[in-house]
Structure 1
Amino acid sequence: MADNLDLPGFHRLLADGRSQRVFVSPGPSGDRVLVLDLSGAPVRAIEGLPGACGLAVSRDGGTLYVALRHAGAIAEVDISGLGVIRWHHLPGQAQPESLARAGDTLWFGYHGPTTWNGRIGGLDPLTGRLWTEAHPTRYWRAPELAADDGVLLAVQGGLTPSAVHVYEVTGDVLRLSRATDEVSPNLIDAVLVPGGGALLAVGAAHDRVAAFTLPGLARNGGYAAGPYPNAVAIRPDGRYVAVGRRSLGGADVRVYRRDLAEPVAVLEVGGQTTLADRGLAWAPDGSALYAVTTPLDGPEPSLSVLCSSIT
Structure 2
Amino acid sequence: MAAGPASAATVTIGSPAGIVVSGALGRVFIGDDTTDSIVATDYTGERVDSVSGIDGIFDLALSEDGATLYATARGSHEIVALDAATLDVKARYPVATKIGPLYLEATGGKVWFTYEDPTDGHGDLGSVDPAADPAAGTDPVALRQLPHENPGVGGGPYIDSDPSAPGMLAIGGTDFFDMTKDLMAVVDVSGATPRLTAWHDGGYALNYVSDIDLVPGAAQVLVDGTDRHTYANGTFSPAGAYPAGRGADIAPNGLVAQLGPIGDNTVAVHRPGASTPIRTYTADAHALAWAPDSSRIFALVSGPRGYVLKTLTDPAKSVTTLTVDAPATAARAKKLTVTGRASATVPLPSGTRLQITRTDLESPGGKALPAVTLKPDGTYSFTDTPPAGGTVTYKAAWAGDSGHTPVNATDRTEVSRAATALTLNRNGNTYDYGADVSFTAHLGTTYKNRTVEIWADPYGGDKPKKLLKAAKVNSNGNISATVDMTRDTVVSAVFKGDARYKPRTVTSTAYARVKISTAVSRHYKTARIGSTSYYWFHKNTDPLLTTSMTYYKGRKHRFDLQVYAGGKWHSDVSRYFPLGTNGKSAVTLEAPGVTGLRLRMRSAYVNGSSGDNVNSTTYGAWKYLYFSK
TM bin, normalised by shorter chain, reads 0.7 to 0.9
Q: Deviations over 1:65-121 (max 9, x none)?
A: 111100110001011221111211112535201111221111111125577232111
1:50 lines up with 2:23 in the alignment: no
How far does residue 261 in structure 1 lie from its aligned partner after superposition?
2.6
Residue aligning to 2:238: 219
Among 104, 115, 121, the residue aligned to 1:110: 115
1:184 lines up with 2:206 in the alignment: yes
Q: Deviations over 1:219-245 (max 9, x none)?
A: 1112114xxx2221111122x111112
Residue aligning to 2:156: 142
Residue aligning to 1:237: 253
Give the AA of the match of 2:141: L
How far does residue 247 in structure 1 lie from its aligned partner after superposition?
5.2
Tell me how far apart the structure 2 counterparts of residues 42 and 137 of structure 1 sit (CA, whole Å).
44
Tell me how far apart the structure 2 counterparts of residues 258 and 107 of structure 1 sit (CA, whole Å).
27
The 5 A counterparts of 1:24-63 are 24-27=30-33, 29-63=34-68
Tell me how far apart the structure 2 counterparts of residues 221 and 167 of structure 1 sit (CA, whole Å).
22
Q: Deviations over 1:1-42 (max 9, x none)?
A: xx9633320132212324432111134x44111112233322
Change (3 A) 1:115 1:134: closer
Tell me how far apart the structure 1 counterparts of residues 97 and 213 of structure 2 sit (CA, whole Å).
31
Residue aligning to 1:253: 267
Q: Which runs of 4+ in 1 moved over 4 A?
A: 112-115, 246-250
Among 263, 275, 278, the residue aligned to 2:285: 275
Change (3 A) 1:19 1:155: farther
Give the AA of the match of 2:183: A
Residue aligning to 2:144: 133
Tell me how far apart the structure 1 counterparts of residues 128 and 150 of structure 2 sit (CA, whole Å).
18
Residue aligning to 2:190: 170
Q: Deviations over 1:205-224 (max 9, x none)?
A: xxx71111134321111211
Tell me how far apart the structure 2 counterparts of residues 305 and 209 of structure 1 sit (CA, whole Å).
23
3-state SS of the aligned residue for 2:313? coil
Check whether the contact 1:110–1:120 (CA below 8 A) recurs between aligned residues. Answer: yes
Tell me how far apart the structure 1 counterparts of residues 218 and 301 of structure 2 sit (CA, whole Å).
29
Check whether the contact 2:281–2:312 (CA below 8 A) recurs between aligned residues. Answer: yes
Check whether the contact 2:36–2:56 (CA below 8 A) recurs between aligned residues. Answer: yes
Tell me how far apart the structure 2 counterparts of residues 200 and 243 of structure 1 sit (CA, whole Å).
11
Q: Relative to structure 2, which stretch is displaced further, 90-99 or 155-164?
A: 155-164
How far does residue 263 in structure 1 lie from its aligned partner after superposition?
1.3
Change (3 A) 1:137 1:173: farther
Q: Deviations over 1:245-291 (max 9, x none)?
A: 255566x121111143311112111xxxx322xx1121111111111
Residue aligning to 2:222: 200
3-state SS of the aligned residue for 1:306? strand
1:153 lines up with 2:167 in the alignment: no
Check whether the contact 1:246–1:275 (CA below 8 A) recurs between aligned residues. Answer: no
Give the AA of the match of 1:236: P
Tell me how far apart the structure 2 counterparts of residues 290 and 75 of structure 1 sit (CA, whole Å).
24
Check whether the contact 1:190–1:200 (CA below 8 A) recurs between aligned residues. Answer: yes
The 5 A counterparts of 1:82-101 are 82-91=87-96, 93=98, 95-101=100-106
Taking only aligned residues, the RMSD between alpha carbons, in angstroms, comes to: 2.5
Tell me how far apart the structure 2 counterparts of residues 82 and 72 of structure 1 sit (CA, whole Å).
20
Change (3 A) 1:219 1:49: same
Check whether the contact 2:211–2:223 (CA below 8 A) recurs between aligned residues. Answer: yes
Check whether the contact 2:299–2:310 (CA below 8 A) recurs between aligned residues. Answer: yes
Check whether the contact 1:26–1:51 (CA below 8 A) recurs between aligned residues. Answer: no
Check whether the contact 2:175–2:183 (CA below 8 A) recurs between aligned residues. Answer: no
3-state SS of the aligned residue for 1:80? coil
The 5 A counterparts of 1:5-20 are 5-20=11-26
Check whether the contact 1:190–1:199 (CA below 8 A) recurs between aligned residues. Answer: yes
Tell me how far apart the structure 2 counterparts of residues 131 and 6 of structure 1 sit (CA, whole Å).
35
Q: What's the TM-score once normalised by structure 1's chain length?
A: 0.84
3-state SS of the aligned residue for 2:16? coil
1:78 lines up with 2:121 in the alignment: no
How far does residue 174 in structure 1 lie from its aligned partner after superposition?
1.1
Give the AA of the match of 1:275: A
Tell me how far apart the structure 1 counterparts of residues 25 and 174 of structure 2 sit (CA, whole Å).
30
3-state SS of the aligned residue for 1:171? coil
Tell me how far apart the structure 1 counterparts of residues 269 and 205 of structure 2 sit (CA, whole Å).
22
Among 289, 292, 298, the residue aligned to 2:300: 292
Q: Which protein is bigger by CA-based radius of gyration?
A: 2
Check whether the contact 1:183–1:201 (CA below 8 A) recurs between aligned residues. Answer: no
Give the AA of the match of 2:294: G
Residue aligning to 1:205: none
Check whether the contact 1:118–1:143 (CA below 8 A) recurs between aligned residues. Answer: yes
Q: What's the TM-score once normalised by structure 2's chain length?
A: 0.43
Check whether the contact 1:184–1:201 (CA below 8 A) recurs between aligned residues. Answer: no
User: Percent same amino acid at aligned positions?
Assistant: 25
Give the AA of the match of 1:307: T
Taking CA–CA contacts closer than 8 Å with sequence separation of 6 or more, which of the two structures ends up with the larger relative contact order?
1
Change (3 A) 1:37 1:172: farther
